[in-house]
Chain A
Amino acid sequence: MLGDRQQLSYIAAQAADARLNLELETEGMTLNIGPQHPATHGTLRIIARLDGEQVVWAEPACGYMHRGYEKLTEVRTYPQVTTLVNRIDWLGSFANEVPFILAAEKLMEVEAPPRAQHIRTILFELSRIANVSLFLGDLGVQLGAITPVFLAFRDREYVLNLIESATGGRFHPNFDRIGGLKDDLPAGWIDETRAVMKKLRGFCDQIEDLLFGNEIFQSRTRGIGVIPRDVALQYGLSGANLRASGVDWDLRRDHQLPMAWNKADWKVWTHPDGDSFARCWIRLQETRESTKIVDQLLGSIPAGPVMAKVPKIIKVPEGEAWVSTENPLGEMGYYIVSRGDLGPFRVKIRSASFNNISITPWLLRGVYVPDIVTILASLYFILGDIDR
Chain B
Amino acid sequence: MSPLLAEIPYWGESLLRVLGGLVAVLLPAGTIVYVFLFKMMSFMQSRLGPMEAGPYGSMQLFAEVGKWLQKEDIVPERADARIFKMAPVIVLLSTFLLVVVVPFGPDALFTDLETGIFYALAVSSVSVLGILIAGWSSANKYSLLGGLRAAGQLIAYELPMVLAVMGVVIQAGTMNLQKIVVAQNSGSMFGIDAVGHPYVISQFVGFVIFMIAIQAELTQAPFDMPIAESELVSGYMTEYSGFRFLIFFIGEFATAGVFAMIASVLFLGGWGVPFSWFGWTSIDEVDNWMNFAGPLIMFTKMMLIVFIIMWIRFSYPRLREDQLQRFAWKGLIPVALANIMFTSILKVVF
Contact = CB atoms under 8 A, between A and B. Distances in A.
B320 A38 contact: no
A372 B228 CA distance: 13
B317 A39 contact: no
A371 to B, nearest CB: 7
A370 interface: yes
Contacts of B46: 150-151, 154
Contacts of B141: 29, 31
Contacts of B317: 140, 143-145, 211, 214, 216-217, 220
A369 interface: yes
Interface in B36-86: 41, 44-47
A196 interface: no
Contact of A368 (B233, B318, B320): B320
Contacts of A140: 317
A37 to B, nearest CB: 7
A159 to B, nearest CB: 16
A222 B144 CA distance: 28
B342 interface: no
Given A143-B230, A370-B231, A219 B319 contact: yes
Contact of B318 (A31, A143, A210, A211): A143
Interface stretch (B3-11, B217-225, B244-252): B217-225
B321 A368 contact: yes
Interface string B257-288: 00000000000000000000000000000000
Nearest to A155: B46
A318 B225 CA distance: 58
Majority secondary structure of chain B interface residues (helix, strand, loop or mixed):
loop
A151 B145 CA distance: 31
Interface in B295-323: 314-323
A287 interface: no
B230 A145 contact: no
B249 to A, nearest CB: 16
B13 interface: no
**B141, B225, B320, B323 pick with most chain A CB within 10 angstroms:** B320
B229 interface: yes
Contacts of B231: 39, 369-370, 372-373
B224 A144 contact: yes
Contacts of A29: 141
**B230, B314, B316 pick with most chain A CB within 10 angstroms:** B230
Nearest to B44: A147
Nearest to A38: B230
B319 A220 contact: yes
B323 A219 contact: yes
Contacts of B232: 369
A291 to B, nearest CB: 20
B316 A145 contact: yes
B216 to A, nearest CB: 13
A141 interface: yes
Nearest to B232: A369
A195 interface: no
Interface in A206-234: 210-211, 214, 216-217, 219-220
Contacts of B322: 368
Nearest to B227: A144
A145 B45 contact: no
Interface in A141-192: 141-147, 150-151, 154
Given A144-B221, A147-B45, A220 B230 contact: no
Nearest to A31: B141
B45 A151 contact: yes
B320 A371 contact: yes
B89 to A, nearest CB: 28
Contacts of A369: 145, 231-232
Contacts of B314: 146-147
Contacts of B45: 146-147, 150-151
B148 to A, nearest CB: 9
Contacts of A219: 319-320, 323
A53 B321 contact: yes
A144 B320 contact: no
Contact of B221 (A145, A151, A368): A145
Contact of A216 (B44, B47, B318, B321): B318
A372 B323 CA distance: 15
B319 A37 contact: no
B310 to A, nearest CB: 11
Interface in A25-80: 29, 31, 37-39, 53
Interface string A226-248: 00000000000000000000000
A125 to B, nearest CB: 25
Interface in B314-350: 314-323
Given A154-B46, A368-B322, A369-B145, A147 B233 contact: no
A373 B320 CA distance: 11
Interface in A251-291: none
A218 B341 CA distance: 33
A145 B222 CA distance: 8
Interface string B17-53: 0000000000000000000000001001111000000
Contacts of B145: 31, 53, 369
Interface of A: 29, 31, 37-39, 53, 140-147, 150-151, 154, 210-211, 214, 216-217, 219-220, 368-373
Given A144-B229, A147-B41, A211-B317, 5 more contacts: A147-B45, A150-B47, A151-B45, A214-B316, A368-B320
15 contacts: A29-B141, A39-B230, A144-B221, A144-B222, A146-B314, A150-B47, A154-B46, A210-B315, A216-B316, A219-B319, A220-B317, A220-B318, A220-B323, A368-B320, A373-B231
